[in-house]
Amino acid sequence: MKKIIIAAAALATIAAHGDTLLISRIDGNEGAASTQTYGVVLPEFELWGFGVDGLAPSYELGRLWPVGTGVFVGGYASWWPHQGQLYLEPFVMFQRKVGDISLTSCQGIYIPLGDGQLAWFSADTSVTTEIAENMQAGVSAHWWHQEGYSAIHFGPSVSVRTGKFNLSGRYCPFGDSQATWRLEASTTF
C-alpha cells in the first residue's frame, strides 16, 4: 500500500495542474478486511491502486472520455497480481442534475484476459439532493455479479464540499449480505 501512495504522490507532483483530481477512499463491510483505494485523475489518463490487507495491491490505468452532457465512456487495463490476472474493464459514468436532484451511475465489466470470471459491477449509483450549502444527501447503491455470486447493497449517503476538497460517505445496511460502507476524500488542484 505504501508503494501506491508514493506512486500517486509522485504522479501528482510531476503532473499537477488545474485539472488534477486526487482521490483516497476506504471501503469496508462487517466481518471483512477493508479496501484502500488511491486514484490520480489527470486529463490524459487515470491511475488507480487498490489494496486489501494481506494481498498485493491491484492497479488500473485508463481513461474516460466525455461523449455527451454528463456521460463518460472509456475503460481501464486492470492488473490483479494476487490472482495473476489481467482484465480489460469497459466503464461508463453518468452524472446529471435534474432540478435539485443529482443522479450518478458508474458501471463497469471486468473481462479477464486468460482464465478468470467475467464480473459486472456498479461502483456507485446514487440519487442525492442539496440539503444545505455545499452538502448533499440521498441514497446510494452498489452491486457486483459474477458466476456463483451476486450482491447488491443500498443505504444513505452524504457529501460535503469546501472549496476544492470533498468528503463523502455512504453506509449500505440493506442488501444481500453484510452492511458495507465507504469513506472518500478528494481534492482538485
pLDDT (tens digit, 9 = 90+) per residue, 84-94? Answer: 899 999 999 99
Predicted pLDDT at 122: 95
Predicted pLDDT at 4: 47
Q: Residues 144-169: pLDDT tens digits?
A: 999 888 999 999 999 999 999 999 99
Predicted pLDDT at 18: 57
> Residue for cell digits 482464465?
115
84 vs 52: which has the higher pLDDT: 84
CATH of domain 2-188: 2.40.160.40
Of the chain, the end-to-end C-alpha distance in Å amounts to 24
Q: What is the DSSP string of 14-74?
A: HH-STT-EEEEEEEEETTS--EEEEEEE-SS-EEEEEEETTS--EEEEEEEEEEETTEEEE
